[in-house]
Amino acid sequence: MAKISINIKSGTLEKEGLVVGIDLGTTNSLVAMINPDTGKPEILGKTDELMVPSVVHITHDGIPVVGSAARQALISHPESTIFSVKRLLGRSYKDVEAHAPYYTYRILDEADEKLVRIEVNGKYFTPIELSSEILAELKRRAEAITGKSVSRAVITVPAYFNDSQRQATRDAGKMAGLEVLRIVNEPTVASLAYGLGLNSSEAKTIVVYDLGGGTFDVSVLRIEDGVFEVLSTQGDTYLGGDDFDREIVRHWIKSLPENIHSDAFKSLRLLAEEAKKQVCGGGVFEELFNHVDGQYKLALDFNIFESLTTHLLDKTIQCLQMALSDAQLSYDEVDEVVMVGGSTRMPFVKQRLVDLFGHIKVNDTLNPDEVVALGAAVEADVLAGNRTDILLLDVTPLSLGIETLGGLMDVLIPRNTRIPCKYVKNYTTSVDGQVKMSIAVYQGERELTAENRKLGELLLTGIPAMPAGMPKIEVAFLLNADGILTVEAKEMRSGVQQHIEIKPQYGLSDTDVERMLLDSLSNAKDDVARRMLVEARTEAEQMIYTITRFLGKNAALLSDGEIKETLELCNSLKTKLVNSDKDTILQGVDALNEFTRPFAERLMNKAVSSALQGSHIDKV
Ligand code: ADP
Ligand code: MG
């Protein structure tokens, strides 16, 4: 169960829960924090299970089970065991349709524009809820190990994640009871784990090669003055260690009788992964495989494995070449390479990179499946204010703008702008008497909005009718540190304004998130209710304190009746503090506030008039 700390003296929430870094991976997730004794990041977990498989199994009773136990159910209960949920996070059915056969569980094909849902035994789950289960498990782990409450986190995402996916990740964190300090890019924190970017005087170009379980990402970063700029990213969201396993399965199946193919496939996959790890570690693999109609010998050695999978490695190198050409760089302009992801333990990966890059430094001394979480812990520490020597800044990877006449993209925030930032631009109407204006927001580098990604739309209404070109409409883009955008539009002559926080068109509203938060997690529900109650109590206590002090100092400003009434309101609020719910407490706060507001005004007037008197006396 999650914990909250309350400072007994002040009655306030203790904000100082531990801060952690979380790698919410497609295959495995990890949590790390800075060890206060060594100052170095460490993965939190038992030595034999530092990683939590990113798998959620829904039991018959509809209860989610996370991690290794859930992973066991992949074979026995494929339809109720959700893997790779990260690929579905912040996505609509339209986005994932092409790969639907890949999933063994049911993804609902409801509406193109809405976030997907998953159905298990007649119950519905969103990828946000399922991801929050994984995050909650990591939080519990960290709390069990440290014995302290863990309340704040930095969560990592791939550099190519769009707004919708980032927002969904943030929502999942919130739902798990975490205050998400920042959503950060995986390649950025992987570099941080190696200390790159910590020395603000050095400028470097870095390639981060991340081959995980199901995805491949390569990013080119430029680090200068402590700023991480993503020059380009490329990759394949359906290429990873799983594909290497699949090649082994295909190879084995060739030597097995025809009729065994389909149902043996699944158990062969786990064996294949074992075989892969074994041959990559320098061994050979041999095992007897029992099947209804006989026993078969499965074998693998490194050379066979390498030749079976060369085409997959080649694919990653093609992506790498594209990433470099997008960034307009050649191999010899790169200063360092960082290796990330469990699959970079395959020896030919490093070999190929060394061959391509020559003698530059290939960073592979940290465990490749841990670097992202380790780096996230460093960033979390910085953001929590524990290190003042570093300033971590991020940039937005894609340009943001609005559609203007003729479907043109008009950029307000160019790509690679440091975030957080704010940009303002003026527009006007194109038709006489135009009273409303639609402002469509896009993300991307193309000239025509049709070729960019639409993030949302805002309608400015109530513009006073004027000749075309007369209204002055100011559009402001505010991009926060997570890369989440708020757009404001204002007609300057009349002051009419509208603003929206851009979540993708098919995103969740805050109320949806709130509702899911209350519905799905009974623990979180208790915590949220408790927190709101504590906050209401704190507010009430502060109010009573302030007013009691005011009465003590300024009784002369009030009538006897007013003093009596104030004291009564204070006392009634005090009794409410003991047993009442938050709404009743807040009503009491409001009543007291309402009644005493004029007093503050009187005090101000008194101060002003005595100041005036003072000046008058001076002149005499
Ligand atoms: P993700 O970032 O997708 O969550 P990870 O970075 O944890 O994934 O990588 C998981 C992948 O790494 C799996 O495909 C796993 O088989 C592979 N892997 C882990 N250890 C080894 C190893 N020793 N040799 C080869 N592959 C490995
Ligand atoms: Mg990863």
Q: Token digits for 448?
A: 């025509």
What residues contact 212, with CB distance under 8 A and at least 6 apart?
Answer: 25, 26, 27, 240, 241, 340, 341, 342, 343, 369
pLDDT digits (tens, 9 = 90+) for 412-434: 988 767 777 888 899 988 788 88
| pLDDT value of position 280 | 97
Pairing status of strand 18-24 against strand 150-157: parallel
pLDDT at 608: 59
Distance CA 503, CA 164 (A): 6
CA pair distance 472, 462, nearest whole angstrom: 13
CA atoms within 13 A on the CB side of 409: 21
Tokens of 552: 């003590």
Judge whether 67 and 55 are in contact, CB under 8 Å. Answer: yes
Rounded to the nearest 5 degrees, what angle is found at the Cα of 519, between the Cα atoms of 518 and 524? Answer: 45
Q: What is the pLDDT of residue 395?
A: 63
Interatomic CA distance for residues 145 and 569, integer angstroms:
46
Q: Where in the chain is the domain with CATH 2.60.34.10?
A: 400-524
- Distance separating alpha carbons of residues 495 and 515, to the nearest angstrom: 34
With a 6 A CB cut-off, is 212 part of the ligand 1 pocket?
A: yes
Q: What is the CATH number of domain 195-365?
A: 3.30.420.40
Interior CA angle at 455 toward 453 and 456, to 5°? Answer: 135
Task: Give me the pLDDT at residue 44, please.
Answer: 95
CA dist 619 to 452, 605, 612, 613, 615, Å?
70, 21, 11, 10, 7
- Give the residue range(s) of CATH 1.20.1270.10 domains in the chain: 530-611
Of 24, 208, 369, 371, which is best to mutate to test ligand 1, by the most ligand atoms within 8 angstroms of its C-beta?
369
Find the length of the chain.
620
State how far Cα 194 lies from the chain centre: 22
pLDDT at 517: 42
Centre of ligand 2 from the C-alpha of residue 196, in Å = 19
User: How would you label 41-71 residue by residue, b for 16+ Cβ within 10 Å and e otherwise?
Assistant: bbbbbeeeebbbbbbbbbeeeeebbbbeebb
Q: Which residues make Cβ contacts (< 8 Å) with residue 371, sequence separation at least 6?
A: 189, 190, 193, 194, 338, 340
Region(s) of the chain under CATH 3.30.420.40: 195-365
Rounded distance between C-alpha atoms, residue 120 and residue 225, angstroms? 49
Q: Is the dihedral of CA 384, 390, 391, 393 positive or negative?
A: negative
Q: Which residue has the tokens 């047993």?
A: 579
The stretches in the chain having pLDDT less than 70 are: 1-16, 111-113, 260-263, 388-398, 416, 482-483, 501-531, 607-620
Known active-site residue 568: no
Q: Is 294 helix (H, G, I), strand (E, B) or coil?
A: strand
Ligand 1 binding pocket includes 87 (Cβ within 6 Å)? no
- Of the residues 95, 133, 137, 210, which is catalytic? 210
Fold classification of 530-611 is: Substrate Binding Domain Of Dnak; Chain:A; Domain 2 (1.20.1270)
Any atom of ligand 1 within 6 Å of the Cβ of 345? yes
Report the top-level CATH class of 400-524. Answer: mainly beta
